[in-house]
Amino acid sequence: MNIGKQPNKVRGNIIQCINFQQCPMCYGCRNYDSRLEECRECWEDGIRPGQKRNYNVCNTDLHESWKVNRMICKNTIDIKGIDIEGEDIDE
């Protein structure tokens, strides 16, 4: 049985890396820095045979910050002409 990518299976989450910033779209690390040894280890560990993407590191070119912000912050959803309004959260 092939189970999809899980947030708790990403190496940065497992080792509780202080630089780990989880992408809400693919669960990979959005804070990859090739200058850091731990980041390079995550990259090498995330290479899976037969897959184009790295398991542990987010493709930030594909998951640009404006797209992530739009996904998280949108409070109105239009479903076949029906508007469902989100509740505003007072801080």
pTM of the model: 0.59
Domain membership flag for residue 76: yes
- Do the domain assignments include residue 91? no
Instruction: Determine the pLDDT at residue 80.
Output: 72
Does residue 19 contact residue 52 with C-beta atoms inside 8 Å?
Answer: no
Name the residue range of residue 48's domain. Answer: 7-85
Residues 12, 33 contacting (CB under 8 angstroms): no
**Close Cβ partners of 82 (under 8 Å, ≥ 6 residues apart):** none
Fill in the amino acid letter for 85.
Answer: E
Give the pLDDT mean for 47-61.
Answer: 78
Q: Is residue 68 part of a domain?
A: yes
Q: How confident is the model at residue 1 (pLDDT cuts 50, 70, 90)?
A: very low
Number of CB atoms found within 10 A of residue 55's CB:
18
Amino acid letter at 66? Answer: W
Residue 87 pLDDT: 58
Q: Which two tokens stand for residue 49?
A: 């045979």
User: How many distinct structural domains can be found in the chain?
Assistant: 1
Instruction: Considering only CA atoms, give the Rg of the chain.
Output: 16
